[in-house]
Amino acid sequence: MAQVLEFKLPDLGEGLTEAEIVRWLVEVGDVVAIDQPVVEVETAKAMVEVPCPYGGVVTARFGEEGTELPVGAPLITVAVGERPASGEADAAGAEGSGNVLVGYGTSEAPARRRRVRREQPVSGASAAGSRAVTGQGAAPAAVNGQAGAPETEDGPVPVISPLVRRLARQNGLDLRELTGSGPDGLILRADVEYALRAAARAGAAAQTAQPHAPVPQPHAAVPQATSTATAPQPTAPQPTGTAAHGEIRTPLKGIRGAVADKLGRSRREIPDATCWVDADATELMRARTAMNAAGGPKISLLALLARICTAALARFPELNSTVDAEAREVVRFDHVHLGFAAQTDRGLVVPVVRDAHARDAESLTAEFARLTEAGRTGTLTPAELTGGTFTLNNYGVFGVDGSTPIINHPEAAMLGVGRIVPKPWVHEGELAVRQVVQLSLTFDHRVCDGGTAGGFLRYVADCVEQPAVLLRTL
């Protein structure tokens, strides 16, 4: 007798909580092998083929192409082999492959949930908003089969990610009063945000309904309208694509949503500062031309700038670091995983060149080309988009001279490079037309002061102006 096993959307790493089904690679009735890719999904980071850890016959698929599923939602079910007479499941299927895909395993025993503290209850309007989500006046969810029984302090609250739990805590929202819309009542970020919006509307409605009522005293409940016929009720959020006249609304999801979240977090958490300098890049351009004229693989300008960056970070390692805010420590790295900004049809991505400090210009050129092409085709893996320690942003390709880069959280700095254009420049005491570039460095002021940042930028500029400076440090 076959055993039917359920395979759920795994944790794809880096805090990703959902993925969109792009293409199914199997049909119901197909026979799949252990670790065979069964579906292609798109996360906020990349396109990923998800392998199934079980071998057998596909009996069901969950979600149509284009559907967005949260982590932990069922993907497929697989009928695995024949069950031995002893009643133990077939080892190859029931136990799974044991392989790991960016942070998920296939072992049978789930990890124990850690204890969670009971959130502070919502007062006033917030409480009203919470009730609006669970149903006005509805009793708390059943616990141990007893309707209306409150959950114990040690009871688990199914929340899709720690970020959602923190969002609720920061706004004084009691998660135990919400009914999650995810699988098995899983509380999603959208549930918390809807509850907060409903709470705000309920508070505004109460004030509108009783404009002459006295101002509530501290800790007093917000007055509620007595007539259910006239009392404004919280309305459901507008569906995607619905907009008022003259508005076009685009959901912040996928890569665009990930970029928005990351840049917003960078601005909130990192006290950044920017310094910049103009540099004469004439000699650097001549050096590149000479290198490419000598035969062999062509060397890209980005690769030369990357070599300069890694040499500068060796001299100023404070900028190749991150801040552990909880431990109040600066974590300095002994390797350079160099991120570089790449614009694609799907949006801005930042692939990472691993161990850039150990690569020569030829190797860097090849790796930049490979990752850029993967970004354009949407085949970058989460591992190729994470783990950077410093980012190089060549926004000169857009025809602009300067910018103030936003640090790629949780890194400590980013070097921006503008376009290289002919400009009047004083060279060897005379006015001449030279190839000039503006360099800008945005840095986390917690890891260093202006002297270190200025020294780094000045060294980069010196290498651009006189590439022989770089040769002396190699």
Residues with a catalytic annotation lie at 445, 449
Note whether 201 and 125 are within 8 A (CB).
no
**Residue 464's closest CA among 441, 439, 443, 446?**
439
Residue 186: is it exposed, middle or buried by C-beta count within 10 angstroms (0-12/13-18/19+)? middle
Question: Nearest Cα to 390, choosing from 325, 327, 442, 343?
Answer: 442
Place of tokens 């559907």: 67
- The span from the CA of 154 to the CA of 169, in Å, is 17
Asked whether the beta carbons of 201 and 126 are under 8 A apart, the reply is no
List the beta bridge partners of residue 438: 278
**CA-based torsion, 176, 180, 183, 189: positive or negative:** negative
**Sign, Cα dihedral of 346, 350, 356, 360:** positive
> Distance (Å, rounded) from C-alpha 445 to C-alpha 29?
58
The residues with which 50 forms a beta bridge, in sequence order, are: 39
Backbone angles phi, psi at 154, to 5 degrees: -90, -5
Residue 144, C-beta contacts closer than 8 angstroms, at least 6 positions apart? none
Distance CA 392, CA 406 (A): 11
Rounded distance between C-alpha atoms, residue 449 and residue 441, angstroms: 13
Smallest Cα–Cα separation from 68: which of 11, 23, 19?
Answer: 19
Q: Give SS3 for 61.
A: strand
Q: Tell me the three-class secondary structure of 320-359, residue by residue.
A: CEEEECCCCEEEECCCCCEEECEEECCEEECCEECCHHHC
| Residues sharing a CB contact under 8 Å with residue 13, sequence separation 6 or more, in sequence order | 102, 103, 382, 383, 386
C-beta of residue 70 within 8 angstroms of C-beta of residue 9: yes
254/4 Cα distance (integer angstroms): 32
